[in-house]
């Protein structure tokens, strides 16, 4: 797989009522090391900091009745507008994203395309029942779904989105060649990866396939092609 040229640190702005949960995850492992290398940057925004309510409230009951709470316009508008005020509009050097089951399905192919995006990415993490529709109507974010299921908020989809992109940025993984032969890669023709084994050769009567221990690279490659999924 050819390397994608990355001109600058990729910046992710994360809007959430639980930014500390995002921050804790993003400072660990490869993503933490990538920040130290200045390959990626994360900026966190707590919606409660933008509330005009003395108790920091950012949600209310839905008009028309029904269960759940809806994130209000005011704190979300103010937060997004604070972020985009740093850009020279109408130049489009950022993209706002909102995670919703109604959005476009997120795939590895999409992640590869987003590595090439040179602007900042603003991730709006909903909560509760959802967000006021007027936010979507006004800002017209790109809507993305990470699967046909329902979560309590957009924080987990945001982490999926970030990690799937970040690991493709040259320098984030210790060995960039590991990208060339993994699930959905071009070398595997978009299929899912073959089974993997490591030491010991036998564990509780379960043995690793003899062909993988043979040292015959052609036989190993044939076995792996045969055992691709999908």
Of the candidates 158, 143, 173, the residue with the CA atom closest to the CA atom of residue 39: 173
63: helix, strand or coil:
coil
Q: Residue 143 — left, alpha, or beta (φ > 0 → left; ψ -120 to 50 → alpha)? A: beta
* Average pLDDT over every residue of 201-229: 96
Taking CB atoms within 8 Å and a gap of at least 24, the contacts of 221-225 are: 223/194, 224/194, 225/194
The whole-number pLDDT of residue 2 equals 39
Q: Are 206 and 200 in contact (CB under 8 A)?
A: no
The CATH number that domain 176-226 falls under is 1.10.1270.20
pLDDT for 157-182, tens place per residue? 999 999 999 999 999 987 666 655 56
pLDDT for 21-70, tens place per residue? 999 999 999 999 999 999 999 999 999 999 999 999 999 999 999 999 99
Q: Is the pTM of this model over 0.95?
A: no
Instruction: Determine the Cα–Cα distance for residues 125 and 161; give it in Å rounded to an integer.
Output: 12
Q: Are 168 and 112 in contact (CB under 8 A)?
A: yes
Written as six digits, the tokens of 154 are 């957009």
The whole-number pLDDT of residue 192 equals 84
Report whether CATH 3.20.20.140 matches the domain 10-166: no
The boundaries of every CATH 1.10.1270.20 domain in the chain are 176-226
The boundaries of every CATH 3.40.1280.10 domain in the chain are 10-166
Point out which residues pair with 142 in neighbouring strands: 97
* Alpha carbon separation from 59 to 72, 129, 155, 183 (Å, rounded): 5, 10, 17, 40
Q: Are 45 and 15 in contact (CB under 8 A)?
A: yes
Point out which residues pair with 99 in neighbouring strands: 144
Over the chain, what is the mean pLDDT?
A: 90
The whole-number pLDDT of residue 1 equals 36
Residue 99, pLDDT > 80, answer: yes
Query: What angle separates helix 19-26 from helix 155-166, to the nearest 10 degrees?
Result: 30
Kind plus residue range of the DSSP H or E element containing 212: helix 210-213
Of the candidates 17, 23, 68, the residue with the CA atom closest to the CA atom of residue 42: 23
């Amino acid at each position: 797989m050819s390397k994608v040229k990355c001109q600058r640190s990729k910046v992710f702005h994360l809007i959430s009522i639980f930014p500390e949960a995002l921050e804790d995850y993003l400072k660990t492992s490869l993503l933490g090391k990538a920040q130290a290398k200045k390959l990626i940057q994360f900026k966190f925004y707590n919606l409660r900091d933008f509330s005009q309510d003395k108790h920091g409230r950012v949600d209310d009951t839905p008009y028309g009745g029904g269960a759940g709470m809806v994130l209000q316009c005011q704190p979300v508008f103010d937060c997004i507008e604070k972020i985009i005020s740093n850009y020279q509009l109408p130049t489009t050097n950022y993209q706002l994203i909102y995670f919703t089951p109604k959005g476009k399905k997120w795939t590895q192919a999409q992640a590869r395309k987003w590595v090439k995006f040179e602007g900042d990415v603003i991730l709006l993490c909903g909560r509760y029942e959802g967000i006021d529709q007027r936010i979507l109507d006004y800002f017209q974010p790109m809507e993305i779904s990470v699967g046909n299921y329902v979560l309590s908020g957009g924080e987990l989809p945001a982490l999926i989105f970030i990690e799937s992109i970040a690991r493709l940025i040259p320098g984030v993984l210790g060995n960039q060649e590991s990208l060339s032969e993994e699930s959905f890669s071009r070398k595997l023709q978009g299929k899912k990866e073959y089974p993997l084994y490591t030491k010991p050769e036998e564990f509780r009567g379960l043995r690793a396939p003899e062909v993988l221990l043979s040292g015959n690279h052609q036989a190993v490659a044939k076995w792996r092609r045969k055992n691709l999924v999908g």
